[in-house]
Amino acid sequence: MEESPPKHFREVVQRRLMRDVIEAAAGLSRGWMVMVIDDAALRVVSALVGMYDVMEHRVTLIELLSKERQPLPEMEVIYLVTPTLETINLILKDFADPKKPRYGAVHLFFLSKVNDTLMQRLGTAPNFLQRVRTFKEVNMNFLATEASAFHLDMPRCLPGLFSTRPDNAVLEEVAYKLVSLCVTLNEYPHVRFNQDSVLCARIATLVQDGLNDFVARQEDWWYHGQAGHTDRERATLLILDRAEDPLTPLIHEHTYQAMVQDLLQVDGDMITFQSEGKGGRHETKALLNDSDALWAEFRHQHIAKVMEQIGERTRDYIQANAGVEMTRKLGTDAKMSPQELALIVKQLPEYREMTGKLWMHYSITTDVMASFQHFGVLDLSELEQTLATGVDGDGRSVKEEKMLQR
């Protein structure tokens, strides 16, 4: 059966990971396999697939390259790693003793291009090379975090980009990751940038050179807009730096996702929040990612709208499933606030289970608003808006001296 077209950017990347890594290795293997990844690959994989997805292709175990691992010499191994000297040395260490290899046959995948120095290092281990059945650069060293959003997984890059002397290594890494993104999406874009920005011009040049080099080396690679692939025109890659909009990072945003990130304890996709349960409020952990349909729907909406919709949906769901007693408690007042609804639901704990994810997101939004009030973020947000616009909430101009007094 012909595969349906991907619905969004993240699905394109997800399919590429499954096809070019997991399914490619499975097609050459006869038994169960183990998958070994480094920290960067862990973030790439966890943003795209779950354990069940890879187990369907006979991957029975996923382990970190940096951790001590049990020898499984009867099983083939998939390595998905960043091309660095450290990762290659750790891989070769697994096969240092020819009589006691950690794994059997090897399927070796790199998230980006392997340079000549690293290739020479691999060439010093002939016993290892004899086991390699797959060697491939998959161009996937970025994180597809949402249906239409990605980031380059470079949390400490700002000093290297915006110091008085930008770090060439950081600029090159940004460019290589953008090339990797374009290649994965089958895009050979027109690269555009602000000519007044030296930083943008440098990155744009590196990206263009990287794309040209890839296209020249990969004759069988195609891109959108090319003859035979005219479903859409060539893309445009627009490179801007923070100087185009310096204020936005300094202003609190009141969308659901932004407030969760600002006010709650978040580690990757894992969130820690306070929720109601037996014995009162207690600490709860949950995953917030695209597998949670409500999170995907609500995350870019204003927090007030999210709370209103959660209340309305909880009420509608319970009314459609509740008995006479609960229907009487809810009454017919369509204007009941989420807080009033919660007081009723708390009296009947079984309905917290029935509403499932709705109750979880109600708990998260309640915790967000508690922190919002505790830290005085509303007053701070009003001051930020005044500093950014030069006018107060009534549209009157405000002098700098008055703002400093606040």
User: What is the structure's pLDDT at 393?
Assistant: 77
Report, in this order, helix, strand and coil percent for the chain, each rounded to 5: 50, 15, 35
- Cβ–Cβ contacts within 10 Å for residue 272, how many? 13
User: What is the structure's pLDDT at 142?
Assistant: 93
Helix (H, G, I), strand (E, B) or coil at 145: strand
Q: What is the spatial distance between Cα 223 and Cα 187, in angstroms, rounded to a whole number?
A: 5
Q: What would the mean pLDDT of 195-202 be, rounded to a whole number?
A: 93
> Residues 10, 11, 12, 18: is their CA dihedral positive or negative?
positive
Q: Is a pLDDT exceeding 70 seen at residue 348?
A: no
Q: What would the mean pLDDT of 114-140 be, rounded to a whole number?
A: 94
User: What is the structure's pLDDT at 322?
Assistant: 58
Q: What would the mean pLDDT of 273-298 be, rounded to a whole number?
A: 82
User: What is the structure's pLDDT at 404?
Assistant: 64
Q: Is a pLDDT exceeding 70 seen at residue 98?
A: yes
Q: What is the spatial distance between Cα 340 and Cα 264, in angstroms, rounded to a whole number?
A: 24
Q: What would the mean pLDDT of 141-157 be, rounded to a whole number?
A: 90
Q: Is a pLDDT exceeding 80 seen at residue 172?
A: yes
Q: What would the mean pLDDT of 141-162 be, rounded to a whole number?
A: 90
Residue 189: pLDDT band (50, 70, 90) is: very high
> Residues 169, 170, 171, 176: is their CA dihedral positive or negative?
positive
How far does the chain reach from its first CA to its final CA, in angstroms?
66
Residue positions counted in the chain: 406
Residue 274: pLDDT band (50, 70, 90) is: confident
Q: What is the spatial distance between Cα 21 and Cα 15, in angstroms, rounded to a whole number?
A: 10
CA-closest candidate to residue 172, choices 202, 143, 142, 197: 202
User: What is the structure's pLDDT at 405?
Assistant: 65
Higher-scoring residue by pLDDT: 275, 198: 198
Question: Tens of pLDDT along 324-338?
Answer: 555 565 565 555 666
Q: Is a pLDDT exceeding 50 seen at residue 279?
A: yes
User: What is the structure's pLDDT at 49?
Assistant: 87
User: What is the structure's pLDDT at 129?
Assistant: 94
**Which of 118-122, 240-244, 376-380 has the highest mean predicted lDDT (pLDDT)?**
118-122
Q: What is the spatial distance between Cα 298 and Cα 230, in angstroms, rounded to a whole number?
A: 34
CA-closest candidate to residue 37, choices 67, 70, 81, 72: 81
Q: Which residues contact 70 (CB under 8 A, 6 or more apart)?
A: none
Q: Is the pTM of this model over 0.75?
A: yes
Q: Which percentage of the chain shows pLDDT scores above 70? A: 87
Higher-scoring residue by pLDDT: 2, 132: 132
Q: What would the mean pLDDT of 46-54 be, rounded to a whole number?
A: 85
Query: CA triplet 142, 227, 191: central angle to 5 degrees?
Result: 40
User: What is the structure's pLDDT at 60?
Assistant: 93
Q: What is the spatial distance between Cα 90 and Cα 84, in angstroms, rounded to a whole number?
A: 10
Q: Which percentage of the chain shows pLDDT scores above 90? A: 58
Alpha helices, DSSP H, located in 191-270:
198-217, 256-263
Q: What is the spatial distance between Cα 95 and Cα 21, in angstroms, rounded to a whole number?
A: 22
169 φ/ψ angles, rounded to the nearest 5 degrees: -65, -40
Residue 1: pLDDT band (50, 70, 90) is: very low
